[in-house]
Chain A
Amino acid sequence: MKSRAEEILTTEQPVQGRTSILSDYMRALSAVVWKDLAAELRSRELFSAMMVFALLVILIFNFALELDAATRSSVTSGVLWVTFAFAGTLGLNRSMAIEKDRGCLDGLLLAPVDRSAIYFGKVIGNLIFMFIVEVIILPVYSVLYNTNLFNPGLLLVILLGSIGYVVVGTLLSTMAVQARTRDILLPILLFPVMIPIFIASVKASSGFLDGLEMEMISPWLNLLLVYDVIFTAVAFMLFDYIVEE
């Protein structure tokens, strides 16, 4: 006579479904993304921190510079990207800190999938949070400074730039979070390395806002693409070394 416990622990059918490696990978990746979104939806920790910080930064810029409809687009895009860069580090830091603090990273690392699934899952989660903040900041900025920021080209730049930022940022925040000096370390590590993204994003953004021809803007877009591709590959290869012991 089996006890209820024995019944539960003795499953007749295989507990783990037999599926392909690719679908295992994608399922693990999407599980990580879903988990980050679900947890964030409950606590709204990351989002509120990033959002409030971004708004404060934009407000401060108002007193530092004169931002209005007559402002040159290069200044506008500069302000926007500085805001994104700084708010972004908050999100990256927090996202990894959650995993580290309760040892949850180990839980993720125990999963029977390639480690990169976890990495990409985190990247996509971080990217989504960053997009949400950016998409809200744009109309807020437009309203506060009476500037029209509704520009599909601008959105493209934000997409490409954020991808590069988050790809490198997730890798570096995984390291930073394991150091004693965790909070200040991430910007110090990240900013020198993401300068190409920064320059290209600011230039391309102001190009679109000024309505320049594509041939003036495309070198910057190409640079963003190249950076994104190269660093996705590099991060993919290096992530394992950061989480193994």
Chain B
Amino acid sequence: MESKPRLLSILDVVTALMLLAATALVFFYAPVEAVMGQVQKVFYFHVASGWVGMLSFMTAAAAGIIYLMRGSSNWDIVGVAAVEIGIAFSFINIVTGSIWARPIWNTWWTWDPRLTTATIMLLIYLAYLMLRSGIEDPNRRARFGAVYAIVGFVSVPLTFFSARLFRTIHPVVIGSNQPGAEGSFDMTPLMLQVFLFSLLTFTVVYADLLWHRIRLGKLAEKVEQLKLKTMS
């Protein structure tokens, strides 16, 4: 049995430290925004998790393409890992978005193009898992997953574009005083630093989780193989 690679253990530690550091920065280092107050600080993790969601989606699509070209099941494991983690982060993205929106605009939801697209992306992820769970043959399951990841990925920019076009031509007033409200505010240099560090931290968290999940997938595959060997 392989033991956990040393590099991964180091990465675990680094990730934990960075998360702590990022949280500390957000609460103690970053200035309080003039208009929105403390709540604005949700923004740092909100955008970062949104970014990871997108990154994950890209990873899944890329893994899909490589899987179709090479046929090695390792890439399929990468794809599933990326989707599962992507679901988690997309969910965090949407929830933190709501937390942010409520005190500011007095609503839990805004049909902001980015949020809308993120939600649709989440639905595509979930559809991906449902597709896979309905297929017995592992090879077919992997191929279909790859194809759907690619199709989904191609559709997301188009969805974003159409949602944005929808808003510019028909701004929707949702009971807030700011139609087209996207929570813009000016970022001071300090905020920018914290923002970028949060992005970096979350990317590292993503890499760490992805690695763990891929390892898990490979170990699961090994277990299956051993099962077959002992049974036949």
Contact = CB atoms under 8 A, between A and B. Distances in A.
B62 interface: no
Nearest to A233: B154
Interface string A162-206: 000000100110011011111001001100111110011001000
Interface stretch (B30-38, B163-171, B190-198, B210-218): B163-171
Interface residues of A, number: 35
B131 A189 contact: yes
B169 A195 contact: no
A242 B166 contact: no
Interface in B123-181: 123-124, 126-127, 130-131, 133-136, 139-140, 143-144, 146-148, 150-152, 154-155, 158-159, 161-163, 165-166, 169
A188 B134 CA distance: 13
Nearest to B67: A241
A132 interface: no
A180 B136 contact: yes
A12 interface: no
A168 to B, nearest CB: 7
Does more than half of chain A's interface fall in helix, strand or loop, or is it mixed? helix
A242 B159 contact: no
A227 interface: yes
A216 interface: yes
A225 B152 CA distance: 18
Nearest to B155: A193
Interface residues of B, number: 32
B162 A196 contact: yes
Given A238-B150, A241-B147, A242-B144, A180 B135 contact: yes
A195 B120 CA distance: 9
A136 interface: no
B68 interface: yes
Contacts of A238: 68, 147, 150-151
A203 B162 CA distance: 10
Contacts of A234: 150-151, 154
A179 B158 contact: no
Interface of A: 168, 171-172, 175-176, 178-182, 185, 188-189, 192-196, 199-200, 203, 216, 219-220, 223, 226-227, 230-231, 234-235, 238, 241-242, 245
Interface of B: 68, 120, 123-124, 126-127, 130-131, 133-136, 139-140, 143-144, 146-148, 150-152, 154-155, 158-159, 161-163, 165-166, 169
19 contacts: A171-B151, A172-B151, A175-B131, A175-B144, A179-B131, A180-B136, A181-B134, A182-B134, A185-B134, A188-B127, A193-B151, A196-B158, A226-B158, A227-B158, A230-B158, A238-B147, A241-B146, A242-B143, A242-B147
Given A179-B134, A195-B159, A199-B166, 12 more contacts: A180-B134, A185-B131, A188-B130, A192-B155, A193-B124, A196-B158, A216-B169, A223-B158, A223-B161, A231-B151, A238-B150, A241-B143
Leading 9 A-B pairs by shortest Cβ distance: A179-B134, A181-B134, A196-B158, A196-B162, A192-B123, A199-B162, A193-B155, A180-B134, A192-B124
